[in-house]
C-alpha cells in the first residue's frame, strides 16, 4: 500500500513556513492557518491540466460537482464547449494559467492545501511540485494510463485538500492516535516479501506502522510517518467532530489498528462526500449572510490574537499578516453587506 505524500522538499518548506506562523501568532494558530489557506469566499478557482486527454479531464471535473454543490466556491476547469477542451498549463509557465495545477505523470496521489497552491514560497527550490506557475499542485498518478477502481473518491479527497481540508485520521477529536499500532509486535523478526514490503514473520508476529512504512513502496523515515499520521496535540487547534464517513479518512490495512473493528476505521464508502464533509465545506465557504458574519468574527478574532497593529507583521513571503487579515475582514464584511446567496 502506497500512501499519499508530498515530496520531502515541499513538506520541508511548508513546515518552515508554519513554524514561523506558530511563533508569530501564539494562540489561535488553527484559525490563522485555516484562514490563510482558505480561498476567498465566492472565488472562482481555476483548474488546469498538464497531461491526460479530454475525456479524463471531463470525468474529473464531473467528480468534483459534489464539492462545489456544497459550498460557495466555484471550480472552473476552462471547458470550451465548442472544442470540448479544458484548460491546460505547462511546466514552462511564468504566470498562473491555473490556481490548481493537475498532473498525472508523477508517482502517487497528493495535493497542496488550499492557497498553498499559489504560494511561491512552497517549492521555491524549483522542483516539480510547489506553488509556482510551472509546478504541479495536485497529482493523480497514472490516471492517464490506468485509472484505479473507485477513482472518484480519490479525486474528491485530493480536491478537498486543494480547498483547505486535512486528513481526518489526524483530527485530535478522533481515536486514531491511540488506535494505531505504531510499533512492532514483541520479538518481531523483520521479514519482507519479494517486493520489499514488510510482512508478518514466521511466527505470525506483525510489523508496526513505523516498520511497515519504512519498507517498499513508501520508504518513509520515522519523522515522515509522524508528519503524515500523528495527531498534533495542540490546545489551540480547533477541529470538527471526528467523522468516520469522511472521504478524508484513510482506509488502512487492518493490522494498522489495535482493535477490530477499530473506532478509527472508516465506515463510509470512500467515494461520496459525507454530511460532515459538506458541513466543513460550508464552514469554510458559507452561503448565507449569517454564516458569513460568523466567518468575519473569526477572522477579526485572529487579527486581535496576533496583535496586528497598523504596521502589520512581516510574513514568510515578504508581505504583512496584519494587512492580510485586515483585508480579509474587510472582504468578509463586504460579502455580508451584499448578502451571501
**Cis status, amide bond into 261, omega within 30 of 0:** yes
Average pLDDT over residues 84-88: 97
Asked whether 239 and 173 are in contact (CB, 8 A), the reply is yes
Q: HEC profile for the chain?
A: CCCCCCCHHHHHHHHHHHHHHHHHHCCCHHHHHHHHHCCCCCCEEEEEECCCCHHHHHHHHHHCHHHHCCCCCEEECCCECCCCECCECCCCCCCCCCCEEEECCCCCEEECCHHHHHCCCCCCCCCCECCCCCCECEEECCCCCCCCCCHHHHHHHHHHHHCCCCCHHHCCCCCHHHHECCCCCCCCCCCECCCCCECCCCCCCCCCHHHHHHCCCCCCCHHHHHHHHCCCCCCCCCCCCCCCCCCCCCCCCHHHECCCCCCCCCCCCCCCCCHHHHHHHHHHCCCCHHHHHHHHHHHHHHHHHCCCCCCCCECCCCCEHHHHHHHHHHHHHHHHHHCCC
Distance in angstroms (rounded) separating the CA atoms of residues 119 and 131: 5
pTM above 0.75, yes or no: yes
pLDDT per residue as tens digits for the range 216-247: 988 989 988 888 888 865 433 445 678 899 99
pLDDT per residue as tens digits for the range 239-287: 567 889 999 988 899 999 999 999 999 999 999 999 989 988 888 888 7
Domain made up of 8-168: CATH architecture: 3-Layer(aba) Sandwich (3.40)
Asked whether 259 and 265 are in contact (CB, 8 A), the reply is no
Asked whether 223 and 210 are in contact (CB, 8 A), the reply is no
Mean pLDDT lowest among 59-68, 98-107, 233-242 = 233-242
Residues 6+ apart with CB under 8 A from 320: 311, 312, 313, 314
Q: Which three cell numbers stand for residue 25?
A: 501568532
A 10 A CB-CB count for 146 gives 7
Residue 103, SS3 per DSSP: strand
Distance in angstroms (rounded) separating the CA atoms of residues 134 and 120: 11
| Cross-strand partners of 137 | none
Q: Where are the domains of the chain?
A: 8-168, 286-338
Mean pLDDT lowest among 12-16, 31-35, 256-260, 290-294 = 31-35
Asked whether 20 and 316 are in contact (CB, 8 A), the reply is yes
pLDDT per residue as tens digits for the range 203-212: 999 999 999 9
Amino acid at each position: 500500500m502506497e500512501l499519499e505524500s508530498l515530496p520531502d522538499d515541499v513538506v520541508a518548506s511548508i513546515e518552515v513556513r508554519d513554524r514561523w506562523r506558530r511563533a508569530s501568532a501564539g494562540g489561535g494558530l488553527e484559525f490563522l492557518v485555516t484562514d490563510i489557506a482558505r480561498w476567498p469566499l465566492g472565488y472562482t478557482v481555476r483548474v488546469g491540466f498538464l497531461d491526460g486527454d479530454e475525456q479524463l479531464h471531463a470525468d474529473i471535473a464531473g467528480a468534483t460537482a459534489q464539492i462545489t454543490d456544497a459550498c460557495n466556491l466555484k471550480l472552473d476547469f476552462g471547458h470550451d464547449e465548442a472544442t470540448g477542451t479544458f484548460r491546460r498549463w505547462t511546466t514552462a509557465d511564468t504566470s498562473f494559467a491555473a490556481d490548481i495545477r493537475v498532473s498525472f505523470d508523477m508517482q502517487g496521489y497528493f495535493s497542496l492545501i488550499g492557497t498553498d497552491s499559489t504560494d511561491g514560497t512552497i517549492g521555491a527550490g524549483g522542483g516539480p511540485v510547489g506553488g509556482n506557475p510551472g509546478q504541479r499542485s495536485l497529482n493523480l498518478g497514472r490516471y492517464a494510463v490506468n485509472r484505479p477502481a473507485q477513482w472518484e473518491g480519490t479525486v474528491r479527497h485530493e480536491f478537498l485538500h486543494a480547498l483547505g481540508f486535512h486528513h481526518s485520521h489526524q483530527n485530535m477529536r478522533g481515536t486514531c492516535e491511540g488506535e494505531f499500532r505504531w510499533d512492532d509486535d514483541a520479538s518481531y523478526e523483520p521479514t519482507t516479501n519479494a517486493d520489499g514490503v514488510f510482512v508478518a514473520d514466521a511466527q505470525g508476529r506483525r510489523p508496526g506502522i513505523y516498520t511497515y512504512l519504512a519498507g517498499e513502496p513508501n520508504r518513509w523515515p520515522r519523522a515522515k510517518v509522524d508528519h503524515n499520521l500523528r495527531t498534533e496535540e495542540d490546545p489551540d487547534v480547533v477541529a470538527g467532530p471526528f467523522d468516520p464517513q469522511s472521504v478524508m479518512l484513510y482506509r488502512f490495512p487492518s493490522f494498522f489498528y489495535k482493535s477490530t473493528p477499530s473506532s478509527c476505521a472508516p465506515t463510509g464508502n470512500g467515494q461520496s462526500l459525507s454530511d460532515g464533509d459538506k458541513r466543513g465545506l460550508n464552514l469554510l465557504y458559507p452561503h448565507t449572510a449569517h454564516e458569513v458574519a460568523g466567518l468575519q468574527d473569526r477572522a477579526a478574532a485572529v487579527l486581535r490574537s496576533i496583535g496586528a497593529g497598523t504596521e502589520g507583521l512581516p510574513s514568510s513571503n515578504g508581505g504583512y499578516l496584519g494587512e492580510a487579515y485586515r483585508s480579509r475582514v474587510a472582504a468578509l464584511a463586504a460579502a455580508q453587506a451584499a448578502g451571501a446567496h
